[in-house]
Amino acid sequence: MATMTLYPDDERLSATERAVFDLYAVSAVVLFVLMMLIGLLMRTAQGNWMSIPPDLFYQLLSMHGTGMVGTMGMITTAVMWFFLRKYVKLHLWAFVANFVLFLFGALCIIGAIFVGNYGALWTFLYPLPVALAKTWSNGAAAWFLLGYLLIGVGMLLFYLDAALGLIGRFGNLGRALGLQWLLSGDIDPDHPKTVVASTMVIIANVLGILAGAVVLVLSLVSAANPEITFNALVMKNLTYWFGHMYINATIYMAVIALYELLPRYTGRPYPITRPFLWSWAASCVFVIVVFPHHLLMDYAQPRWVSIIGQVVSHGAGFPVFLVTTWGVLTNIHRSGMRWTMPSRLMVLAMFGWAAGIVPAMLDGTIAINRVMHNTQWVPGHFHFYLLLGVLPMTLALLYHVIGSREQTTLDSSADRVGFPLYLLGGLIFTFAFLDAGRMSVARRMATHLPEWRGTDQVGTIGALLLVLAMLYFAMRIAIGLLRVKPDAGPRHAAR
């Protein structure tokens, strides 16, 4: 069972671990602010409040999508590492290698976009990066793809090391996932939820990385020799298998923070249950086969694949979400929770995840997808659960950690302004996208029709509030992590 102590001893970081964790955290908050600024620029341009040439717009959109997804993957890996290392032996070299390879990958991607003018978006859908008339060279596309490969290898190393730790302690991944208790037997009350979630993420994301390793190298082959062509639909399936799994895994890694921290703030235990194990086992299978919901409008796709896409869409995130929401709400109910930043962010995260899933599932329904496909409904739903769900989960951990470093209140008056600003900005920003989707405004358009500008401009205002709030959070977290006040009597000094 997760500990009830606010800052338990087994979470202490050694000086090296602390340096590495700080590197992850500070890089992430800085990258989030930069990518949000790019997002703000794009939304402002769509609202016609400024002008950005279309080729630059697609470069910015590529940078924003890739940068946000990559940064989310990087920081949620740190969330998983932070808690999982308490239960199984993790090697710091793997965590460091992941970061270093992420950095190299990011450099390749930034170079491909801003030096090589790559603009085929984060989904690099074949054959767009390597064929057709375009404003970038195959070389730039190759650098972009190479960047992804490096990031994938880094994650693979981290996951393999974590798998080794899990197998070393539990015997195999099935036992770590708790499969032995699905039907009968007394569940070990000390079996950590973190272990269950991490195992699920490792299984799903390693398969995703495998698909990525295939599709990225084949795209590279095509960049080197454009005469070799591949079936674009199969490539698309593999690309989404990889990309969907990667971004989905961020939710499942981030939610670990909720499982671990919530009981400490409510002061009430959060036991592991059979429905909990069932939900993670089911989601593990579903998340691997849910990606066809991205291809509902690809009519060449076999019909049964699309049907799987719809059915599994409803089943994939739902079990974990339902069990987690139930668990969290019953944990909070009448608990006399201490309302500081980590707890506020956790409750916001639950709301963002819960509310964001609704438009997502709607869009995963074939009849609705016919109308909503590739409209701004899509960025509406994923910004909802990424901005208001996953990001607050990770911010909750970072806030919690700065509370361990200095004797500071996690509820300053600036925090009390920053939080509602973020919430308000987030709601305005995402609802503007959803409303534009309702009006069938196309997504991924550099230039918007005058009729679309209303929602664009409202969205821009929301984005501005978000950027301001995030800028404050980033400074607060970076300063909180990096400033070592010898006289502050830190609750959790480095070992």
**Residues making contact with other proteins (CB under 8 A):** 89, 91, 94, 153, 156-157, 160-161, 163-164, 167-168, 171-174, 177, 179, 203, 206-207, 209-210, 213-214, 217-218, 221, 228-231, 234
The nearest distance, CB 46 to ligand HEM, in angstroms, is: 6
Q: Does 389 bind ligand HEM (CB under 6 A)?
A: no
The nearest distance, CB 462 to other proteins, in angstroms, is: 42
Cβ proximity to ligand HEM, 128 vs 366, nearer residue: 128
Q: Which of 59, 283, 376, 455 binds ligand HEM (CB under 6 A)?
A: 376
Q: Which of 25, 28, 40, 195 binds ligand HEM (CB under 6 A)?
A: 40
The nearest distance, CB 45 to ligand HEM, in angstroms, is: 8
Which pair of tokens denotes residue 398? 């970072």
Which pair of tokens denotes residue 383? 């910004």
Phi then psi for residue 444, to 5 deg, are 55, 40
Which pair of tokens denotes residue 6? 């606010």
d(CA 236, CA 124): 9
d(CA 359, CA 357): 6
Closest C-alpha among 390, 384, 494 to residue 437: 384
Cβ proximity to other proteins, 175 vs 314, nearer residue: 175
Residues 99-128 that bind ligand HEM (CB under 6 A): 121-123
Q: Which of 18, 64, 268, 476 binds ligand HEM (CB under 6 A)?
A: 64
Burial class (CB in 10 A: 0-12, 13-18, 19+), 73: buried
Q: Does 434 bind ligand HEM (CB under 6 A)?
A: no
Q: What is the DSSP letter of 119?
A: -
Strands in 274-344 per DSSP E: none
Q: Does 60 bind ligand HEM (CB under 6 A)?
A: no
Q: Which of 264, 383, 400, 476 binds ligand HEM (CB under 6 A)?
A: 383
d(CA 139, CA 224): 8
Q: Does 68 bind ligand HEM (CB under 6 A)?
A: yes
Specify whether the CB–CB gap between 102 and 67 falls below 8 A.
no
The nearest distance, CB 379 to ligand HEM, in angstroms, is: 4
d(CA 79, CA 74): 9
Q: Which residues contact 265 (CB under 8 A, 6 or more apart)?
A: 337, 338, 340, 342, 343, 346
The nearest distance, CB 169 to other proteins, in angstroms, is: 9
d(CA 77, CA 473): 20
Q: Which does 267 bind (CB under 5 to 8 A by kind): other proteins, ligand HEM, none?
A: none
Specify whether the CB–CB gap between 335 and 268 falls below 8 A.
yes
Q: Which does 221 bind (CB under 5 to 8 A by kind): ligand HEM, other proteins, none?
A: other proteins
Residues that bind ligand HEM (CB under 6 A): 36, 39-40, 42-43, 61, 64-65, 68-69, 72, 121-123, 376, 379, 383, 386-387, 391, 443-445, 463, 466-467
